Amino acid sequence: MEKGKTYTIKKYVSVTSSINHSHFNTVAASITNVTAAYVRGFDALHEEHVAAWKAIWANADVVIKGDQAAQQAIRFNIFHLYQTYTGKNPKLNIGPKGFTGEKYGGATYWDTEAYCIPFYLKTAPSKIARQLLKYRYFQLDKAIENAEKLGFTDGAALYPMVTMNGEECHNEWEITFEEIHRNGAIAFAIYNYVRHTGDFDYVSKYGIHVLTAIARFWVQRFNWSEDKKKFVMLGVTGPNEYENNINNNWYTNFLARWCIQYALECNDRLEKNGVSLTAKEREQWIHVTDNVYFPLLEGTNVYLQQDGFMDKVMLNAADLPDSERPINQHWSWDRILRSVFIKQADVLQGIYLFEDRFSEDEIRENFNFYEPKTVHESSLSPCIHSILAARIGDEECAYALYLRTSRLDLDDYNHEVSEGLHITSMAGTWMSIVEGMAGVRVIDGNLSIRPMIPTKWNSYSFQIFFKEQPVHIHVSTKGLEMTNLGADSLDFSVIDNKYTLAAGEKQMITLH
Amino acid sequence: MEKGKTYTIKKYVSVTSSINHSHFNTVAASITNVTAAYVRGFDALHEEHVAAWKAIWANADVVIKGDQAAQQAIRFNIFHLYQTYTGKNPKLNIGPKGFTGEKYGGATYWDTEAYCIPFYLKTAPSKIARQLLKYRYFQLDKAIENAEKLGFTDGAALYPMVTMNGEECHNEWEITFEEIHRNGAIAFAIYNYVRHTGDFDYVSKYGIHVLTAIARFWVQRFNWSEDKKKFVMLGVTGPNEYENNINNNWYTNFLARWCIQYALECNDRLEKNGVSLTAKEREQWIHVTDNVYFPLLEGTNVYLQQDGFMDKVMLNAADLPDSERPINQHWSWDRILRSVFIKQADVLQGIYLFEDRFSEDEIRENFNFYEPKTVHESSLSPCIHSILAARIGDEECAYALYLRTSRLDLDDYNHEVSEGLHITSMAGTWMSIVEGMAGVRVIDGNLSIRPMIPTKWNSYSFQIFFKEQPVHIHVSTKGLEMTNLGADSLDFSVIDNKYTLAAGEKQMITLH
């Protein structure tokens, strides 16, 4: 090399894995790839790279004006989500830390279904989310095997809490055997996919098998209580992992009943294409769903987290001295379990999932009951609360909870960034803007928007996919501007008014 | 040595341990001991050994006529108990496997208080059982430290579930943090000691500190339920370890309330000698004990094992196929937890401990409710059931359950003798004869006997210590023969009749 001259060294690297190649061919494939890359050359590859990211940002960006910290945070989160997962291969999933840390071992959790799928459904064409659904479809046999080990029969499936290859790889009974609501999240993801994409074909080809096996699990997992004359579910752990081995977790009971109902609906719709349910099985499913027990707080609209919840000492998180928080680093496990404090409020998670079944007053009553008791010691917690706070018009609370999630890693609130970033909860942050601030929902197959804007912001905007059509949503202090970027006309509602936009059309809607 | 002649080789061995000698002196002490032994000679040592065992058998033997298998079994058990523990040193305790196997690591469990202390109280002078009580007294500081780690204050103590030196050495939260009834067994052992020996001096010197610290734990562990307007105890594991993290385990609530009451009674009796309770503390203790919640089965006298018990599928152990037993080797943990099946029935354990507070009808009703649901997958279970079966006159069941425990190791029922013998449950076997068949009790400070005899037996007899005096009890098909071997006169009752025997006197009492 000539002295004093600057050289650019280009290095071509190909990463291949035995997941995609036979063990024997892994190295050879790598050489083939890297040779092809070299032949195409750095500039062409770089252009492709730039184009790929441009396409991602065109679909997924959220632009916030007037709040630089919020803008930086949401882009940081979106970047990391697409850095982690782009949906190329149904054998891959999203670890809670992505590739940024070794904690959780890169394994798959229910986080994917509960938080990441809503993100990819709206920010990418449907095939990306479909890959995540297929990941579970391909592991159905293992889930059936897992349920058999626990004494279930007739093709009932229990998906693992944590997995690499479909087998359970968590090691605590209160999680593996009892935190079974994950089965519901997996079924709900299929439903969520269908309502966002309109693609029922996925159900008839793949989803129906997963839905049916999950429904069979729930039907067997409920048991008849002669005492209550209802079906009860004993010994579970809900998403609020600060309770173990509880009876009649409202969230799990509600989700389980819904799973059976949805599986039945899909089977009926598919008729002969569906998994053939016997008449007896069908009857039993209906008998169970007609008679599920739900714990309620008498004289109120509050759904009780579990049986016996009201025996606890009723305190608020605000009563906890700072020196004892987070309680999971200061209290013994039994003390956490019997306290009223909630890691993430699963009744609110249930209301979030099935929001259109609850009146605004009911949502408010439950939010006001549970939010003060929630210590948010799961990174997945604040976003759901933020979305519900927005739903009931508590703008201040919604914004405060949004901030809590969005800059979690950038500002290293919990002094744990060295363990890796909270990749899956980053999707929750995005949800707090799109579903929270903008109030985007799919209700009865239609797009519904109920926007608000935090005082500090001038405007925010983003694009979503709805039934494969891109829609641009811009919210400012002046109002909501909707742009139909798709090829078909778009029906949608804003609060209680209905609108239709032709392809390419834009409409400004003033808000009060 | 001369060819063809037989020689006896005598080997003198001394075992010393750093528990009793400084590390530096352990070897020297061993040499001193072994030299002294050599000087005294084999014959003298052998005579001493024989005399020591003769003295043990004179006090502890149970003679059964007409049932060789039963006779062999009970002697096998008594031998192993005294082979394991003779009460020489309060630093020692009784591991569930004694010195016969490595399982349980030689550690101390609540078995000692619940099963072994009743055995040593009746088969040996009071100093032997007192050593076992002192073992816990010397570990009180560690028990207070343990409770502090769990958030308790003001000198509350939680004794460990498993220990070598006073520190908890079990590793599962559902046991260490929640199986807290062991605290009650430790308090009850003190009460049991006092009523058998009449020695309240132990309480004033040592026991009061243990009792007060345990009472303080329970007072803090209960919490007020605004819903029930009662004190409840959430998140415990009872002696029936086939339930975890349950609310209001009847046994634990009952025992906890009793502990506070007894500690209060002892403090009052000792007045200034006692640990000084403040007026406020005294008031709080009374407030709690006056308002403890107990789960009941409405319309019956059945005490419910825990809140929500009646939500389970009501099956009997007889409904289980043999191929699934023991369930702890065939079922997943969650399935065991939510099933109705009971490892050892803790409601019956509670009724056993406080039998004089329950009518025969109440005992029968609870026995008939719980016994069919009990799988007896703890070696400590059948003896208590056997004793209660005898109490309610169910001779057949009492005998069947006795057989189940007494030959457990001799016949290796569970194919696990290679792991070691069930030393602590051997004391339970002895209890099934003395407390079960013979119905020996101490009620209101007096000896009470309510004997029965299994059809197969011609007679059985044994000696017990009561208030330091030996009493011989002989039960045959002809009746009960009582012999007062002590120096003072003896008052006792048989069923509902009262008797007095002068020192050295014997009386035959015909039974109907």
3-state secondary structure B179-203: CCCHHHHHHHHHHHHHHHHCCCHHH
From chain B, the residues in CB contact with A334 under 8 A are: 150, 173, 177-178, 235
Check B177 against A334: CB less than 8 A apart.
yes
**Do B312 and A150 make contact, defined as CB atoms within 8 angstroms?**
no
pLDDT of residue A274: 58
User: Which member of A168, A241, A365, A371 is catalytic?
Assistant: A241
CB contact under 8 A, A177 and B232: no
Return the active site residues of B: 241
pLDDT attached to residue A170: 94
Question: CA A295, CA A305: separation in Å to the nearest integer?
Answer: 7
| pLDDT for position B1 | 67
pLDDT of residue A273 exceeding 90, the answer is no
Mutation for B interface: A146, A150, A234, A311, most B CBs within 10 A: A311
For B378-396, give the DSSP string. Answer: STTHHHHHHHHHHHTT-HH
HSE, CB side, 13 Å, CA atoms: give it for residue B359.
5
Compare all CA atoms of chain B with the CA of A234 and give the residue at the minimum distance: B338
pLDDT at residue A415 in the model: 82
Tell me chain B's radius of gyration from C-alpha atoms: 24
Which helix (H) or strand (E) segment holds residue B472: the answer is strand B469-476
Distance linking the first and last C-alpha atoms of chain B: 69
A423-431 and A381-391 are packed helices; what angle lies between their axes, rounded to 10 degrees? 0
Tell me which residue in A173, A228, A332 faces B311 most closely, judged by beta carbons: A228
Of the partner residues A178, A232, A333, the one whose CB lies closest to the CB of residue B311: A232
Tell me the chain B residues in contact with residue A228 when contact means C-beta distances shorter than 8 Å: 311
Kindly report the pTM of this predicted structure.
0.94
Question: CA-to-CA distance for A380 and A387, rounded, in angstroms?
Answer: 12
State the smallest CA–CA distance between residue A330 and chain B in angstroms. Answer: 9
| Positions in chain B short of pLDDT 50 | none
pLDDT score of A275:
65
- Does the pLDDT of residue A7 top 90, yes or no? no
**pLDDT recorded at residue B5:** 86
| pLDDT for the residue B256 | 98
Q: What is the mean pLDDT of residues A376-387?
A: 94
Percent of chain A with pLDDT over 70: 99
Residue A214, pLDDT above cutoff 80? yes
> How near does any CA of chain B get to the CA of A224, in Å?
7
Q: CB distance A173–B334 less than 8 Å?
A: yes
pLDDT at A5: 86
Q: What torsion, rounded to 10 degrees, do the Cα atoms A216, A220, A226, A232 define?
A: -80
**What confidence score (pLDDT) does residue B275 get?**
65
- At residue B4, the pLDDT reads 82
Q: Tokens standing for B341?
A: 């099946």
CA A160/CA A177 separation, integer angstroms: 9
| Closest Cβ–Cβ partner in A151, A177, A245 for B245 | A245
Report d(CA A465, CA A120) in Å as an integer.
9
- The yes-or-no verdict on residue A300 having pLDDT over 70 is yes
Identify the pLDDT of residue A6: 87
Q: Which is nearest to A76 in space by CA: A438, A405, A414?
A: A405
Of B178, B331, B334, the CB nearest to A178: B334
Kindly tell me the burial class for residue B211, based on how many C-beta atoms sit within 10 Å of its own C-beta (0-12, 13-18, 19 or more): buried
On the question of pLDDT at A1 being above 70, the answer is no
Helix (H) or strand (E) holding B484: strand B479-484
pLDDT in tens, A226-268: 999 999 999 999 999 999 999 999 999 999 999 999 999 999 9
Alpha-carbon distance B178 to nearest alpha carbon in chain A (angstroms):
7
User: Which residues of chain B make contact with A225, given a CB cutoff of 8 A?
Assistant: 310-312
Of B150, B311, B337, the CB nearest to A332: B150
CB contact under 8 A, A224 and B312: no
Cβ of B334 and A224 within 8 Å?
no
Contacts of B223 in chain A (CB under 8 A): 311-313, 338
- Residue closest to B258 by CA, chosen among B211, B213, B223, B305: B211
Interface of B with A (CB under 8 A): 149-151, 173, 177-178, 223-228, 232, 234-235, 244-247, 307-308, 310-314, 331-335, 337-338
Q: Is A511 helix (H, G, I), strand (E, B) or coil?
A: coil
Q: What is the pLDDT of residue B357?
A: 96
Task: Tell me whether residues B178 and A310 touch, CB distance under 8 A.
Answer: no
- ipTM value for the complex: 0.92
pLDDT at A413: 81
Helix, strand, coil % in chain A, rounded to nearest 5: 50, 10, 40
